[in-house]
Structure 1
Amino acid sequence: MTTSARQRRPRRDALANRDRILEHAERVFAEEGLDVSLHRLGEDLGMGIGTVYRHFPTRNDLLLGLYHRFQERVDEAGDALTGIEDSYERVVAFIDQTVQFSLDVPVARAVGVRVQRLFPSEVRVSPTASVVAQAVEEGKAAGTIRADVDVTDVASLAGMLADLVWVREPERSVVLPRMRALVLDALRPEGTPRPDLPATPVSMTELTRLAHRNRMQP
């Protein structure tokens, strides 16, 4: 083995350990909250606490690492939007991506809130925002998106839909598609044909129960 190869191996091992810590923390934090100790994470992984501390001296540093990891996923998803030619469909894809991300990474919102408080200078706007902004302007020019819509409106609507992922099944499969259809209708210019709303709405009794008792906690 060459000297350079021997020097590279610890680096690969270190990166692998860092990824293992982040992946495990993502799962545990989603299930048990953000205050699980570094000692507990190290024990779960069969990893010495010194190894954990070398990568993340404090739990706050670990949360920041998770935040950056989540941002990378958002950026990668945003890159995929550029391959969608139709501007309106690009906006729809962004909305669906936002919802799916909340489903796939349920702890992301809680991590983002904590990082905003602890490390405000680390919080940034994803490059995806400019991709969506361009799609909105192109859609407005093409007449497929109402003329008074702004990219911040689209981002807000996507966030509102993403909030609905905390509704438990089976109600989520009713509520989320209907709200998605209404959101998409809100983006269309007046006079554009609207498809029928999917599914049957929940009753007021069910809605009241959802509001008070049937929300998953991030």
Structure 2
Amino acid sequence: MTDAPRRRPRKDALANRQRILDHAERVLNAEGLDVSLHRIAEELSMGIGTVYRHFPTHDDLLLSLYHRFQERIVAAGEDLLELDDAYERVVRFIDVSVDFSVESPIARAVGARMKRVFPEELRVSPAAAVVMEAVTQAQAEGKIRDDVDATDIAVLAGMLADLVWLQEPERTVLLPRMRALALDSIAPSGAALHPLPSHAISAEQLTQVAHRRRRPS
């Protein structure tokens, strides 16, 4: 006896799923992870049973948001490849990381929750290979200091992204200043620069660090 073919979801079911995810992302970005499924259903004028059919638990909803965020990161990594200049790819990666945090401020907290609940779902950033190659090429061209690693660039981008939680007007003042300092810090070594101590962390360690980061309280 063969298994019956799986039925494709109806268009209205797919539309409901999209509405739930869109609304959940907006509310969670504004208020944090603990917004309940019941509240989401109520605000959408949707039966809670409909929400549960798509997302049996709150963590299932967060997992779908996590996959959504990963798709955006994949797209950003593909866009980096459109830039011919290696140094510009590195700078653009930093800027994209900040922009992503502005657009999806809850993404890191979602990643931290997934590390605890669905650790098998964690992924190394698809932009990592692009940045690693760009850093190596920019170093060969004398545009980035030799002792910088691609993971250092990712950490710098994360540090700048954390500044999006500052209130205005401080954010508008500090973010571009810290960006300028960060870019100067990776410039080719000169007499005024101290050599970097120790060694860089690995890509695997960076993934673990990134998924431990939480939204500041």
> What SS class does the counterpart of residue 10 from structure 2 fall into?
helix
Shift of 1:34: 1.3
Unaligned runs of 5+ in 2: 1-5, 192-214
Greater fraction of residues in helix: 1
For 2:9 and 2:159, the matched residues in 1 are separated by 44
Question: Partner letter of residue 112 of structure 2?
Answer: V
Matched with 1:206 is: none
Matched with 2:166 is: 167
For 1:217 and 1:136, the matched residues in 2 are separated by 30
Matched with 1:63 is: 62
Q: Deviations over 1:98-154 (max 9, x none)?
A: 001111111112111111111111111121110111101111111111111111000
Matched with 2:207 is: none
Query: 1:201-216 to 2 correspondence within 5 Å?
Result: none
Query: 1:42-191 to 2 correspondence within 5 Å?
Result: 42-191=41-190
Q: Deviations over 1:35-76 (max 9, x none)?
A: 221111111111111211111000010011111111111111
Structure 1 segments, 4+ long, off by >3 Å, are: 7-10
For 2:9 and 2:171, the matched residues in 1 are separated by 46
Query: 1:28-43 to 2 correspondence within 5 Å?
Result: 28-43=27-42
Shift of 1:177: 0.6
For 1:217 and 1:189, the matched residues in 2 are separated by 33
Question: Partner letter of residue 127 of structure 1?
Answer: P
Describe the shift of the 1:61–1:8 C-alpha distance in structure 2 as closer, same or farther (beyond 3 A): closer
**Number of aligned positions between the proteins:** 189
Shift of 1:31: 2.3
Q: Deviations over 1:147-178 (max 9, x none)?
A: 11111000000000001111111111111111
For 1:16 and 1:141, the matched residues in 2 are separated by 49
Maintained 8 Å contact 2:160/2:178: yes
Question: Partner letter of residue 159 of structure 2?
Answer: M
Matched with 2:201 is: none
Q: CA RMSD in A?
A: 2.0
For 1:127 and 1:51, the matched residues in 2 are separated by 33
For 1:144 and 1:12, the matched residues in 2 are separated by 51
TM norm structure 1: 0.82
For 2:179 and 2:105, the matched residues in 1 are separated by 19
Shift of 1:217: 4.8
